[in-house]
Structure 1
Amino acid sequence: MQRPRSTLPGKTLAASCFHNFPDRHPMQHILFLCSQNRLRSPTAEQVFACYPGIACDSAGLHESAEVYLSPEQLLWADIVFVMEKAHRSKLSRKFRRYLNGKRVIVLNIPDNYGYMDPVLVELLQRKVAPFLKPASPTA
């Protein structure tokens, strides 16, 4: 399955969901990282982008990634999810000064899945959901 594109530069279609209602209630900013930002992290972004109270983004840690991680993304994020321990190591090595004590969670999801693979989606939902804040009640 091809990764959908939106009119927002460097963003998937799902990533634009939170831009529709940015001031509705405080959002939890979630950042998903993998190596190339082609399969796992864009799938995670797609899966969680329209969850209530969640704003998410994704990037890759390799210079040739579809969307290479920027310091601004790290400053924006409340929680950073990486797919492998090697990603956490690379993140700490290359971007230590931007982490500022941020929570970095290793999901232990190997690069064995295609974009939006149902098994990958299920793994992400099972491993990420416990770390997400419940949405604020609407007034």
Structure 2
Amino acid sequence: MTNLLFVCSRNQWRSPTAEAIWRRRPGFSARSAGTSPNARKPIDAADIRWADVILVMERKHLNRLQAEYARLLEHKRIHSLDIPDDFRFMDPELVDMLEVTVKSYLST
């Protein structure tokens, strides 16, 4: 089982969509969290420890995680998906983008 952690700012649209898609896949467990203190589910150290792969929506999320959790991230696979905050929860275009980009990082 591979634990996937999806991260965006407020954990409202992008990362919960990714979690919903990937938690249904055999061989994967998925969670989502946000970097903002006002996030629906703010990220914490336990999330990072749990994750095998961390997928952030934008480079700024990666920067925030590195600033806050540098030591915990040392041996983690972490990737920026470069998906802008232009979508609502389960937007079909967002779902398509997540399918393609996440698969490309999981196959490497």
Question: So what's the TM-score if we normalise by structure 2?
Answer: 0.95
124-133 or 89-98: bigger deviation? 124-133
Counterpart amino acid of residue 83 in structure 1: M
1:120 aligns with 2:94: yes
Q: After TM superposition, where is structure 1 displaced by more than 4 Å over at least 4 residues in a row?
A: none
Residue number in structure 1 paired with 2:105: 131
1:79 aligns with 2:43: no
1:60 aligns with 2:34: yes
Residue number in structure 2 paired with 1:92: 66
34-43 or 93-102: bigger deviation? 93-102
CA–CA distance in structure 1, aligned partners of residues 10 and 71 of structure 2:
22
Question: So what's the TM-score if we normalise by structure 1?
Answer: 0.75
CA RMSD of aligned residues (A): 0.9
Which of 7, 16, 22 is the matching residue for 1:48?
Answer: 22
How big is the shift at 1:102? 0.6
Q: Could you list the per-position Cα deviations for residues 80-131 of structure 1 after superposition, in whole angstroms to 9, with x for gaps in the alignment?
A: 0000011110110011121132111000000000000000000000000123
Residues 55 and 81, structure 2, Cα contact 8 Å, conserved in 1:
yes
More helix by share: 2
CA–CA distance in structure 2, aligned partners of residues 100 and 77 of structure 1:
13
How big is the shift at 1:44? 0.2
Using the aligned pairs only, state the percent identity.
39
CA–CA distance in structure 2, aligned partners of residues 84 and 98 of structure 1:
19
1:69 aligns with 2:69: no
The higher radius of gyration belongs to: 1
